[in-house]
Structure 1
């Protein structure tokens, strides 16, 4: 949680000027400067590659999880949040009589005396982010939100003291699985108390009392935007709990003017589309769709280049088109799956004596790293629709490796990997199949061979046994 002292900068829009809540926000920056803030490239520490201790190199694989490569949607998401926060604060300038009335009276019980600057008119917007699990929604959201301070501490503005001290720019909570209004309210209360470093508020015993507490907390904290993750938990059933939750969220936007940010997996967008009212409110600020990266998009090329650099094997394997295609084929452009596959591939070869990363190694790493994801309907369907060009050229790999200490066996089917790499794929299929008995074409073959009294000769006759020494001796006689 990041606290900052208010540093006021004159707003660009005239209507934003003179509003300390807006002018305390980070100064407007161009896209390239913003993107730099979102990047996180772990230190490679390339000297570790020469370490003879394979355990030390394995430990560095944890840094793969720290990689943050901004994608094109980052700027779109950032600008939407930036606009929504400023728009929400526009009607809440703490120096105006309008806001003073808004802060001191419940929204449904304001006096009939209109302030000199007019009644409070909420300006809250709704932003919705939709994307499959693993495409990087939460990661992007965390990076974008981290651009803004969590809490801004105010002092004097233009030489005059302010009547308030703290401004909570954003809070992020998860949607309860049972669509409970009470659980969401309690989570929001706790998050606001935590942000302002207050003691935890005892929740009201009834929903109306709880809603009153929420209203008071949101007002006193000058909340900029409320982010709700895991909105796919909102299941539309006959019980009506989800409708009550939506009504509560609409109350926050319509009455308090606080922008909402929904983050969810499909089919949350289909649920919102059931009614025009829900759809209109959820998309008033922006609707952003995040899909798995496409093979030849700049997003994938940028991501895979940065990911592949995080390599702690004792021999550096260059990213060829073949390996790039294989990574995309296995991960389907899913960032989370790609990171897990690549980490597992290095885990498999480090300390084996041959630490080259090949397509076969990536294929073996896939079912280990994505054993559950690979069986989901989304992945199966996407894999059926995947079409990639195939390379005919062989990959050039570096033959020289350091004589590292061997501390673990090689991957299954890999005890002789340097000598017979062509067997890896077939051996892996045999190892992973759950229908091994069905793959045995002739289960009585050995018994018939024993019955002949000469098993080797029988096996040669039926084409099962290849006696290489016999063939070689015959060749020499020719």
Structure 2
């Protein structure tokens, strides 16, 4: 019998939605629950090569948690349980939530007014970071510590869904996200919500209303949306972009319906979450985490040491400083690349032995050879990270923090410009003008660009608007210039200019091309 003493949290007591969740864990227990050690036996190293190759693939499921994973697990547990406080089915608030759902459904408007006042304890959270550092894998490991469904029979009948994870559609479509929601719920519960509410004739407003209704009916505890950066590709509607529509709905889920929301994405998602203060608050209601690639530090070395234990080669290769350095150099702190590099290195050395009856030692040279042969597609990215070449990294927005780079670049350029080019006292307009001129825009063209921007626009915002809308980088005066008889531009119909057309065809490079974020 366990000697662990049970401590009660008063605000959780008496809430059936919380009572059936797993008991609270300390950090040590969380670490143990997340850790996954592949099955391993030294006897397997004596098996024939074609067997050992399959054993090596067990490393694809390897998971060694570190501090960032434990902190994320704790935070998700906080917002899951806290969100249920305001939706206790034994209180009047839960009934009011259902009545509000009915009003929204009748009005076919998720933002319906004159609803009953209910307590709301839900909040939101976001995780952004470099692609391949393990965000999605960590979230899934944490979520699977909780049951996906809980059946209640007394004092009410209901199937509770503690969590649901969806991937944002590739084109960032809010309609497709709603449909994915209904399909996922149907798979879990065996219902037919997709048939009822996910048909193509339903408007987006109707789908959002029913999505909120289903979330309430099944006491959805946590909605996790991965790959949120796909919203950058969302098509614009008459009144707002698709990303704005979806983010407006998600903040409604949190603030009105009481369902906590977690958003996960690459670094390029920061441009969406920080578009303005209101949207930034949606993703940072309970803070936000940025997961950069691992530094060459204690935690990285700990992961490598744990991973290196699993070798199915005939001869065990000790982990040397040279091997450790080669693994970091070829992966640049990206966890997914590290694991695949270890797997492919073992497969390579086993294959060499199978073909030539040579030894099975893993060397730094072999690791670098495997990286060169197997990771050709990502070599430009790895090389850019290796050199800390921000101009090159800038092409890969899932590896790159756009805001940090533009801020740093602007500070350097503006400071130099004020010191060397302008005798006048620095002003916001001169700062913005300096940024554009330093990246190759002529003074006349730069002044034309700035004349189209609001005076309150910051240098960072100005640069972002130009980067994201390169077709608008010509001054108004040039675009509206009157065409005369015989002017070569007449051959291009209603196009603004020859320059504009040739630039679209790729004949002329945009002076800001080096700053354009890759799609």
Number of corresponding residues: 365
Matched, 1:214 2:219: no
Matched, 1:306 2:306: yes
- Report the CA distance shift for 1:238/1:347 in structure 2 as closer, same or farther (over 3 A): closer
Mapped to 1, the partners of 2:46 and 2:9 lie a distance apart of 56
1:426-437 equivalences in 2 (<5 Å): none
Aligned to 1:242: 243
Q: List per-residue Cα deviations over 1:214-236 (Å, max 9, x = no partner).
A: 12211111000000000011117
Which of 136-145 and 347-356 deviates more? 347-356
Aligned to 1:400: none
- Report the CA distance shift for 1:320/1:112 in structure 2 as closer, same or farther (over 3 A): closer
Aligned to 2:30: 34
Mapped to 2, the partners of 1:14 and 1:167 lie a distance apart of 22
Which of 204-213 and 95-104 deviates more? 204-213
Ranges in structure 1 where 5+ consecutive residues have no aligned partner: 1-8, 156-160, 387-478
Structure 2 residue aligned with 1:385, among 385, 388, 399? 388
Aligned to 1:375: 380
Structure 1 residue aligned with 2:160, among 151, 163, 167? 167
1:241-320 equivalences in 2 (<5 Å): 241-297=242-298, 299-320=299-320
1:78-89 equivalences in 2 (<5 Å): 78-89=73-84
Cα pair 1:107 1:256 within 8 Å, conserved: no
Aligned to 2:100: 105
Matched, 1:229 2:232: no
What SS is found at the alignment partner of 1:337? Answer: helix
Matched, 1:322 2:325: no
Q: List per-residue Cα deviations over 1:398-421 (Å, max 9, x = no partner).
A: xxxxxxxxxxxxxxxxxxxxxxxx
TM-score w.r.t. the length of structure 1 is 0.72
Aligned to 1:48: 44
- Higher RCO (CA 8 Å, separation ≥ 6 residues): 1
Aligned to 1:414: none
TM-score w.r.t. the length of structure 2 is 0.67
Structure 1 residue aligned with 2:123, among 105, 125, 129? 125
1:46-85 equivalences in 2 (<5 Å): 46-51=42-47, 53-85=48-80
Mapped to 2, the partners of 1:98 and 1:54 lie a distance apart of 63
What SS is found at the alignment partner of 2:257? Answer: coil
What SS is found at the alignment partner of 2:30? Answer: helix
Aligned to 1:464: none
Aligned to 2:333: 333
Mapped to 2, the partners of 1:373 and 1:305 lie a distance apart of 25
Mapped to 1, the partners of 2:120 and 2:185 lie a distance apart of 20
Q: Report the CA distance between 1:154 and its aligned residue.
A: 2.0
Structure 2 residue aligned with 1:360, among 357, 365, 371? 365
Largest Rg, 1 or 2: 1
Mapped to 2, the partners of 1:45 and 1:176 lie a distance apart of 42
- Report the CA distance shift for 1:73/1:108 in structure 2 as closer, same or farther (over 3 A): farther
Mapped to 2, the partners of 1:236 and 1:123 lie a distance apart of 32
Ranges in structure 2 where 5+ consecutive residues have no aligned partner: 105-111, 390-519
Cα pair 1:294 1:300 within 8 Å, conserved: yes
Q: Report the CA distance between 1:368 and its aligned residue.
A: 2.6
Q: List per-residue Cα deviations over 1:174-217 (Å, max 9, x = no partner).
A: 11122211101111111122222223532252222212221221
Mapped to 2, the partners of 1:82 and 1:27 lie a distance apart of 10
What SS is found at the alignment partner of 1:234? Answer: helix
Cα pair 2:172 2:233 within 8 Å, conserved: no
What SS is found at the alignment partner of 1:267? Answer: helix
Q: Report the CA distance between 1:48 and its aligned residue.
A: 1.6
Structure 1 residue aligned with 2:184, among 184, 191, 197? 191
- Report the CA distance shift for 1:227/1:113 in structure 2 as closer, same or farther (over 3 A): closer
What SS is found at the alignment partner of 1:16? Answer: coil
Q: List per-residue Cα deviations over 1:261-301 (Å, max 9, x = no partner).
A: 1110012123311200011121111211112222122x212
Detail structure 1 runs of 4+ shifted over 4 Å in the superposition: 107-114
Matched, 1:13 2:18: no
Q: Which has the higher helix share?
A: 2
Mapped to 2, the partners of 1:332 and 1:66 lie a distance apart of 21
Q: Report the CA distance between 1:105 and its aligned residue.
A: 3.5
Mapped to 2, the partners of 1:171 and 1:244 lie a distance apart of 21
